[in-house]
């Protein structure tokens, strides 16, 4: 009786894993991806630099001070935006690995199972 219960639970878990992996599990991973990108943007303070692009630094309202402030902030937005893009690309690779992990694991199991049967 206990063996039947264990085998039933094991079989149900194996059968329901792909459905969970690509429904609830994928929803969890996409939420993680969005949070990761938003946190990266906040970590690099990209929004603050964009909001203050045309604000003169140190209150220097002369033409030269505004030009220097704009140039520095534009360069910092480019550098920080590139950093956010790199972090986001890494997170996207992680999401792609998650999507491909289950089929690759199943293919690996089948490949090695056939190798055990043949030899």
Closest CA to 84 of 53, 34, 40, 31: 40
Task: Name the phi and psi angles at 50, rounded to 5.
Answer: -70, -45
| Domain regions of the chain by residue span | 20-118
Q: How far apart are CA 48 and CA 27, in angstroms?
A: 30
Q: Give per-residue pLDDT as tens, 31-61.
A: 999 999 999 999 999 899 999 988 888 888 8
Is this structure's pTM higher than 0.75?
Answer: no
Residue with tokens 């992680």, as numbered in its chain: 94
């Amino acid at each position: 009786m206990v063996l039947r219960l264990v085998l039933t639970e094991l079989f149900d878990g194996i059968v329901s894993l792909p459905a969970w992996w690509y429904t609830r599990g994928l929803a969890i991973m996409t939420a993680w991806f969005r949070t990761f990108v938003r946190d990266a943007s906040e970590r690099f303070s990209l929004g603050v630099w964009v909001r203050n692009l045309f604000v003169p630094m140190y209150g220097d309202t002369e033409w030269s001070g505004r030009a220097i402030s704009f140039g520095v902030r534009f360069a910092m937005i480019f550098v920080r935006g590139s950093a956010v893009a790199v972090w986001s690309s890494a997170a996207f690779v992680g999401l792609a690995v998650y999507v491909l992990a289950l089929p690759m694991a199943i293919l690996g199991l089948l490949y090695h199972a056939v190798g055990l049967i043949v030899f």
